[in-house]
Amino acid sequence: MSPKHVVFKKVSRDKSVAVYMAKRDFVDHCDFVDPVDGVVVIDPQQLRGRKVYVMLSCTFRYGRQDMDVMGVAFRRDLFLVTRQVYPELQDKDKLTHTKIQQKLLRKMGDNAFPFFFEFQDNLPCSVALQPGPSDMGKKCAVEFEVKAFCGENQDEKLDKQSSVRLSIRKIQFSPDDSNVVPVAETTFEFLMSEKPLHVKLSLPKEIFYHGEPIPVSIEITNSSSRNIKDISVSVEQVTNVVLYSNDKYVKSVAKEETNDCVPAGTSLKKDYTLHPLLANNKERRGIALDGRLKHEDTNLASSSIVKQEVLKEVQGILVSYKVVVRMIASPLLSLSFSESDDMVFEEFKRAYLKGVVYGDDDESPTEA
């Protein structure tokens, strides 16, 4: 097999079944999603006449496993599909869709069987809320998993010795093909001031990728009698847990605080650059992240793109980003303008997304 291809492998404890997959990141390109495919290798002697099944699942978890009480689990299955791979119900050629599968089948011999799944259009992407330093157990997350197991039928109780689980990720990607330049502007009138304060905020484009700096252009025309000072610019992550409680979390993931001031009767035009990175937000409870595989780092969560005719409630966790400008007006007034005030100038970035070219050369082996 070519050394360029990395294959992920996991074997059950009793060696009866093993799963081989060429990748664990599956990209949602908005108009289509990469299918899930791989190969299951069995040991007929260990099976002892049992059948082998492969399951693809999407689960929303909103509590630790040790919090499950009275048979009620703090999790909800958003998607489950199970297929029998042994004994074969279809010819191997019909389930073989990639060259990696073909190579694995040739190498592993007659005891290797392919599997193939397609994601539904309404499924969310992998996302998790970052726990705090002292938090233990499973975190609130939308998770995907491929599971192979043995049994007389697919509904019988799972034998952990004869099953194997491999976590995968469904990640969002959007091409940077928008020509829209986001602009927001507003006017604020002060009491006992004849003329208003006018502020304009603009971004060079709609879509920003992970690690890419965000230039923010601000124009302030202060025709009022107040002095403007302490201007701050921030990127805020807005996370809605919509499935069970509609909780909302707003976290600043990049912020620049300045001593810039705009005296009455003057104007200011200035560019600021923000760097929203997970490296600057580690161990902050409640920050939304792209799904994380064991022993791998990840990124701030990509913006959720909800397709038409898809209920938001089944997405589990929705993530968006906005740029916010705050300032203080003095001397008669001291205001820290927030989301509820008229002085907030924000632009939702339609997709703050991962910009990665996915291919065999980019894969790296990871234990489940």
- The residue out of 131, 146, 172 marking a domain boundary is 172
Is 356 a member of any domain?
Answer: no
Q: Are residues 104 and 165 in the same domain?
A: yes
Which one, of 235, 240, 269, lies nearest residue 251 by Cα? Answer: 235
Average pLDDT over the chain, rounded to an integer: 79
> How many structural domains comprise the chain?
2
Identify whether the C-beta of residue 14 lies closer than 8 Å to the C-beta of residue 162. Answer: yes
Q: Are residues 158 and 30 in the same domain?
A: yes
Q: Are residues 59 and 131 in the same domain?
A: yes
Give the pairing type, strands 351-353 and 207-209.
Answer: parallel
Read off the amino acid at residue 93: D
Give the model's pLDDT for residue 190: 83
Q: Is the pLDDT of residue 67 over 70?
A: no
What are the pLDDT digits (tens) for 292-314?
776 667 889 888 887 777 676 67
> What integer is the mean pLDDT of 31-48?
87
- The residue out of 137, 172, 207 marking a domain boundary is 172
Task: Give the residues across from 290 on adjacent strands.
Answer: 127
Which one, of 167, 12, 39, lies nearest residue 115 by Cα? Answer: 39
Give the model's pLDDT for residue 295: 62
Lowest mean pLDDT segment, chosen from 16-30, 142-156, 188-202, 320-334:
320-334
Give the model's pLDDT for residue 160: 84
Give the model's pLDDT for residue 193: 81
> What integer is the mean pLDDT of 279-294?
83
Confidence class of residue 364 from pLDDT cuts 50, 70 and 90?
very low
Which one, of 199, 191, 258, lies nearest residue 226 by Cα? Answer: 191
> What integer is the mean pLDDT of 45-65?
82
Give the 3-state secondary structure of residue 68: coil
Identify whether the C-beta of residue 264 lies closer than 8 Å to the C-beta of residue 225. Answer: yes
Who wins on pLDDT, 211 or 340? 211
Q: Are residues 168 and 208 in the same domain?
A: no
Is 157 a member of any domain?
Answer: yes
User: Residue 143: what are its φ and ψ, rounded to 5°?
Assistant: -125, 145
Q: Are residues 203 and 303 in the same domain?
A: yes
Q: Are residues 210 and 131 in the same domain?
A: no
The Cβ of residue 64 has, within 10 Å, a number of other Cβ atoms equal to: 15
What are the pLDDT digits (tens) for 94-105?
777 788 888 888
> What integer is the mean pLDDT of 252-281?
91
Q: Are residues 71 and 200 in the same domain?
A: no
Q: Are residues 210 and 118 in the same domain?
A: no
Is 189 a member of any domain?
Answer: yes
User: Residues near 197 by Cβ (< 8 Å), separated by ≥ 6?
Assistant: 187, 188, 189, 190, 220, 221, 222, 223, 224, 226, 228, 329
Q: Is the pLDDT of residue 267 over 90?
A: yes
Instruction: Domain of residue 258: give its range.
Output: 183-329
Q: Is the pLDDT of residue 158 over 90?
A: no
Instruction: State the Cα–Cα distance between residues 73 and 302, nearest whole angstrom.
Output: 28
Identify whether the C-beta of residue 340 lies closer than 8 Å to the C-beta of residue 196. Answer: no
Q: Are residues 204 and 89 in the same domain?
A: no
Is 334 a member of any domain?
Answer: no
Query: At 243, which CATH number?
Result: 2.60.40.640
Who wins on pLDDT, 210 or 247? 210
Confidence class of residue 321 from pLDDT cuts 50, 70 and 90?
very high
Confidence class of residue 198 from pLDDT cuts 50, 70 and 90?
very high
Instruction: State the Cα–Cα distance between residues 98 and 84, nearest whole angstrom.
Output: 19
Which one, of 363, 358, 351, lies nearest residue 296 by Cα? Answer: 363
Is 343 a member of any domain?
Answer: no
Is 310 a member of any domain?
Answer: yes
Burial 333-350 (b: 16+ CB within 10 A, else e): eeeebeeeeebbbbbebb
Q: Write the CA distances from 246 to 63, 243, 317, integer angstroms.
A: 15, 7, 9
Give the model's pLDDT for residue 336: 41
Give the model's pLDDT for residue 365: 37
User: Residue 154: what are its φ and ψ, rounded to 5°?
Assistant: -75, -10
Give the model's pLDDT for residue 276: 92
Q: Are residues 243 and 129 in the same domain?
A: no
Q: Are residues 212 and 139 in the same domain?
A: no
Q: Is the pLDDT of residue 326 over 50?
A: yes
> What integer is the mean pLDDT of 7-21?
89
Query: At 129, which CATH number?
Result: 2.60.40.840
Confidence class of residue 139 from pLDDT cuts 50, 70 and 90?
confident
> What integer is the mean pLDDT of 324-342?
59
Is 344 a member of any domain?
Answer: no
Confidence class of residue 162 from pLDDT cuts 50, 70 and 90?
confident
Give the model's pLDDT for residue 1: 42
Give the model's pLDDT for residue 33: 87
> What integer is the mean pLDDT of 244-252?
80
Q: Are residues 239 and 109 in the same domain?
A: no
Instruction: State the Cα–Cα distance between residues 251 and 281, nearest whole angstrom.
Output: 10
Who wins on pLDDT, 105 or 74? 105
- The residue out of 172, 202, 226 marking a domain boundary is 172
Give the model's pLDDT for residue 349: 35
Is 151 a member of any domain?
Answer: yes
